[in-house]
Structures are given as C-alpha cells and as structure tokens.
Amino acid sequence: MVEYNLSQRQYYEAIQSYGESLALEPYQAELVKLQQHLERHKLKLMILFEGRDAAGKGSVIGSVSRYMNPKHYRIVALGKPTEQEKTQWYFQRYIKHFPHGGEIILFDRSWYNRAMVEHVFGFCSQEEYQLFMKHVVPFEESLVEHGTLIVKLYFSVNKDKQAMRFEQRRTDPLRQWKLSEIDLQAQSMWDQFSDTKYKMLQQTSHAKAPWYIIRSGDKHKARMETMKLILNQIDYEGRCRSLDFTPDSKIVFSSQTELKIMEKALR
C-alpha cells in the first residue's frame, strides 16, 4: 500500500480544489444541455480560446469539455503549418476542422495566431499580417451568416502572473513539456504583445463575432465565468432558471472596455 504524506498546505489546497470542482459542476451540467440542444437542432458552434502563454486556456478548455459527449465536440490545437500548408490560403488549414451540424469545436489557439504570435515573432511577413487583418472580419461574418456561431475569448494575465506560471512549469516535471523557448521570449516581449493585442481587439471585434476578455489570474473564476459566457450565447432548452448566469464584471470585459483600460494604462 502506497502512503502519501501531504503537508498542511497541500491538504488545504486539495480541499480547495475539490470545493472549486463541485462549484463548477452545475454549469458543466448546463453545458451538456447546451450540447444536446445544438445536436437536436443541428446548430454549429466554434469557440476560440486565445491569450498569452500561461493564460490558462488549456485548463479552461478541459473544464468546459469535461462532461460533454465526445461524439459531438472536438478540441483543435494545430501545430506549426507543414510546408504544403504554407503554400495554401491561410484559413484553409482551419476550415477542414470546422463543425458540422450539432457539433462544437474548441480551438486552442486559432487563425488569430497570425494576428498575435506570428506577427510578434516575425513568423509571417508584414504583407501576410496586413492581408489577414483585412480579410478576417469578412471571413467570420460569412461564417456566421451561413449558420456558425463564433465565440471569441481572450484570456488575460498580468506579467507577474505569467512569470510565476512559467516558473511553475520549469520546476514541475509534470508541466515542463509546456515550457518552450517561445514562452521565455514572450516575457521579454511583453510590450510588443500588448501593442499587438490592442490592434487585434480594435480591428477584429465586430457585431457578428465580438471579442470577450476574461481575466484569468484566478483560474477557478476564469473557468466559471467562461462557462457562464458560453451558456449565455444560446437560449437552450432545459436551462436551470435558479442558477446564476450573471457575469462577474471584475472578470469578464467587452473588447471596448478592455481597449479603454489599455488606453488609460498607456497615458
């Protein structure tokens, strides 16, 4: 028999984690209802999870999808484009992963790689970046008009929190695979990412697919608010009317509010 010796701190962290998991379950049950509604009515939903490295996208995706029927959702996390994909229309590699009727697609980073990481690190040319910024809104508008609901989420952490999470990855053998050279460079390029984020929100948030910003310094609150936000997109059948779906104004922001906050910080 294996014995586990937990410190008092580890014990309380485990209790807290268990309590947080229980608090999420009513919303996860609602997500199952939402999924069934989409399947019943052959509706298509895409959720884009964007944000800086270590912003918590992966853990939120795991919580959102935990109890969903795996037959009717997919998590898409694409790596670097192949040589063949580099010769194709930029959106082409993403289109083949789009949902059919009754399906949910969760993009762990999306075509907005070009608007952020690729642009900041010079993985695309200035012309490629400008073409993307010019065409992405009409591209998304066409998708929505043809029946695909797009929910765009940007997870936001401050510089100190990002550095702390990078250090946790560096020292934790279970998380070291998450840490890359790109991650480490991201800290030194914080201001460039901030400028690029501002331009992205300003130019690509539109009525048919607006950006929502989620403060993810507290991972539990980020998970909870992400679930509420997704559930508020569709009036699905069987919604629990006694559950609180009101967004936390300290966690969830519109792109317009985030832009104002960023502008004020720059003054």
Which pLDDT does position 2 carry in this prediction?
45
- Indicate whether 141 pLDDT > 80: yes
Residue with the larger pLDDT of the pair 267 and 129:
129
Give strand ranges (E) for the chain: 44-51, 73-76, 103-108, 148-156, 211-215, 252-254
Which two three-digit tokens encode residue 237? Answer: 């059948």
Which two three-digit tokens encode residue 77? Answer: 């996390």
Please give the Cα distance from 250 to 74 (Å, whole number).
30
DSSP one-letter string for the chain = -------HHHHHHHHHHHHHHHHHHHHHHHHHHHHHHHHHHT-EEEEEEEESTTSSHHHHHHHHHTTS-GGGEEEE---SPPHHHHTS-TTHHHHTT---TTEEEEEES-GGGTTTHHHHHTSS-HHHHHHHHHHHHHHHHHHHHTTEEEEEEEEE--HHHHHHHHHHHHH-TTTGGG--HHHHHHHHTHHHHHHHHHHHHHHH-BTTB-EEEEE-SSHHHHHHHHHHHHHTTS--TT--TTS-----TTTEEEHHHHHHHHHHHH-
- 148 bridge partner residues: 44
Q: Is the pTM of this model over 0.95?
A: no
Please give the Cα distance from 33 to 43 (Å, whole number).
13
**pLDDT tens profile 107-135:** 999 999 999 999 999 999 999 999 999 99
- Indicate whether 4 pLDDT > 70: no
**pLDDT tens profile 93-103:** 999 999 999 99
Residue type, 78: L
- Indicate whether 138 pLDDT > 80: yes
Indicate the DSSP class of residue 178: G
* Average confidence (pLDDT) over 53-80: 95
First to last CA, the chain: 61
- Indicate whether 230 pLDDT > 90: yes
The overall average pLDDT reported for the chain is: 91
* Average confidence (pLDDT) over 61-80: 97
Domains of the chain, residue spans: 29-266
- For domain 29-266, give the fold: Rossmann fold (3.40.50)
Helix (H, G, I), strand (E, B) or coil at 64: helix
**pLDDT tens profile 8-63:** 555 445 555 556 779 999 999 999 999 999 999 999 999 999 999 888 999 999 99
Sheet holding 73-76, edge to edge: 73-76, 103-108, 44-51, 148-156, 211-215, 252-254
